[in-house]
Amino acid sequence: MVFQFFFVVIADRAFTATFLFKANARSAACSRRLEPSFLNALAEGLPMQPPTLLNPTLLFLAAALTAPLACAEVSFLDAKPLAGYRGVWYSVGNTHDEYRYKYSGGMATYPAKHSPFAVYCPEVEKTFFVYGGAAPGTTNRLVHMVSYYDHKTGTVPRPRLLLDKKTGDAHDNPVLSVDDDGYLWVFSTSHGRGRPSFIHKSIEPYSIDRFTQVDATYGPAAIQKPLDNFSYLQVWRRPAGGFAAFFTHYQDPADRTSMFMTSPNGYRWSEWKRLAAIDKGHYQISAVGQERMAVAFNYHPKQGGLDARTNLYCLLSADEGLTWTTAKGEPVELPITTADSPALVHDFESEGRCVYLKDIRLDAEGRPLVLVVTSGGHAPGPGNDPRTWELFRWTGDAWRQSIVTESDNNYDLGSLYMEDDRLRVLAPTLPGPQAYNPGGEVASHVSEDGGQTWRLERRLTGKSEFNHTYVRRPVNAHPDFYALWADGHGRQPSESRLYFCNQAGDVFRLPVEMEGENARPERIGQ
């Protein structure tokens, strides 16, 4: 089959060029900042497109090509329906023992430092969600997927393939936000500086059918730079409108520097604010409430780096991120660069414990609750037991520490829920078929005294073929779609299915193969 490709350069005053490829009904695009001299050279060497395509505010140059121009930053503008829901399988670090990898498995909703993956929109009674999918015919090539659960019909449509990052790295998984007007914003992250990041916005409100790429910028008005690289992104809709985003930027100056930015519209973003840069850096998780926002982070010591991640810190802001304080309200000078900062919640380093961040919430008074797992080291296996789920809750006077449960891997991940009369943790804390690999069987743990004591309320899954991993809480979670996660073999590449549960604890599997345009998820038993 012969396709006609067109190469179009669209340059604005900032000399940002967008390359558009068209093959029949499909389109792809990428953006790159170019020097004026390069654009002038293109103008001399390429014939013009027909005048009907000209726009007086832009410079259009085009040529018919026999093959598409090679470009790493390729994204599909028209979302493509796929025939079912399949997650990406991913692994890191060969351990040369029975556990095979430092961590591995179904990583469709990985990692802890990406949020949110799902948003419930009461205006249309749908929970929209994104996930890292597996490209057709593969188990471990990442594609960015978007879909929704229709609460009125109890069905899901065919998921849409939005972006192929040309990588198998699940650190590039997408996150989702929905703005005040109902438009979906999909943020495609990057693992470090080696690959670009993207932002896509739905063309219609509350729709997954068509998206457009957003060429966002950041910085002061006079010096806007392309927003084309961010890692470990958490992006939240602000009560006052627009977005607040917490993210990581590599080697800026720490290996993993914790950052913050805001935007009134998703197109223009503020200057980046460095929150912390101790030794080799940090991982962070965040929450945005009606009056406050909070961020919790660990730190990576010079000796050991991320495999020695330790300590727990917390910062809060009551002025949209302009200034930051400790939980007590003490001002903190940013960025934090010393381990003994007043923002320190608990000194795990002196106890020889590693700290793995899981979730953070703000209660009705705007006080933070931080959920972590602590362990004796980074390697899998019983040698680093116990892996202890710990909750830190600010009471207004002090941090109160409590034990939720234990599990068998540092990368077991679940979510913290704040219900009317109780706290709940949904997480794969029970042993799974691949013991001591990430995930396991999903369980519900509840506390009815504000988090001081906990009990196992219900086992949600059992006798599973694969470990269940990365149980994620939607924004404004509806009782019928209360958590989203995936499964996958813990020790070897495998297929990965996606699941959700309701608040009562019933579990449903999203359809792997679909014959029609919509399908009803399958309820699974234990």
Beta strands in 95-159 (DSSP E): 101-106, 118-121, 126-134, 142-150, 156-157
State the residue for tokens 């979730």: 359
Structure tokens given for 159 = 């998921």
- At 256, the amino acid letter reads R
In degrees, to the nearest 5, what angle opens at C-alpha 303 toward C-alphas 300 and 308?
Answer: 45
Beta carbons within 10 angstroms of residue 194's beta carbon: 11
Beta strands in 40-125 (DSSP E): 59-65, 75-76, 80-81, 89-94, 101-106, 118-121
- CA gap 35, 126 in Å, rounded: 44
CB neighbour list of residue 50: distance below 8 Å, 6 or more residues apart: none
DSSP lists the bridge partners of residue 20 as 8, 29
For 513, counting Cβ atoms within 10 Å of its Cβ (0-12 exposed, 13-18 middle, 19+ buried), the class is exposed
- CA gap 335, 320 in Å, rounded: 17
Beta strands in 222-362 (DSSP E): 225-226, 231-237, 243-250, 256-263, 268-269, 273-276, 284-288, 293-299, 310-317, 344-346, 354-362
- CA gap 77, 19 in Å, rounded: 12
In degrees, to the nearest 5, what angle opens at C-alpha 362 toward C-alphas 360 and 367?
Answer: 115
**Per-residue DSSP letters for 411-445?**
T---EEEE-SS-EEEEEEEE--SSTTSS-BEEEEE
Question: What SS3 state is found at 134?
Answer: strand
DSSP lists the bridge partners of residue 402 as 391
Beta carbons within 10 angstroms of residue 83's beta carbon: 13
Give per-residue pLDDT as tens, 430-450.
999 999 999 999 999 999 999
On whether the CB atoms of residues 49 and 32 are closer than 8 A, the answer is no
CATH classification (class only), 75-524: mainly beta
Give per-residue pLDDT as tens, 328-354.
999 999 999 999 999 999 999 999 999
- CA gap 268, 263 in Å, rounded: 6
What dihedral do alpha carbons 142, 439, 315, 420 form, nearest 10°?
110
DSSP lists the bridge partners of residue 22 as 27
- CA gap 156, 516 in Å, rounded: 11
Looking at residue 384, what is its pLDDT?
Answer: 98
Strands in 273-276's sheet, in edge-to-edge order, are 231-237, 243-250, 256-263, 273-276
CATH 2.130.10.120 in the chain: give the residue spans: 75-524
Which of 445-468 are b and which e, b meaning 16 or more Cβ less than 10 Å from the residue's Cβ? Answer: bbbeeebeebeebeebbeebebbb
Distances (CA, A) of 392 to 181, 318, 398, 415, 502: 35, 20, 10, 14, 26
Question: What SS3 state is found at 149?
Answer: strand
Distances (CA, A) of 515 to 82, 147, 210, 519: 11, 17, 22, 8
Looking at residue 78, what is its pLDDT?
Answer: 66
Report, as ranges of residue numbers, the positions in the chain whose pLDDT lies below 70: 1-78, 526
**Per-residue DSSP letters for 16-52?**
EEEEEEEETTEEEEEEEE--HHHHHHHHHHSPPPPGG
On whether the CB atoms of residues 351 and 340 are closer than 8 A, the answer is no
- CA gap 145, 138 in Å, rounded: 15
| pTM (two decimals) | 0.86
State the residue for tokens 């739905």: 202
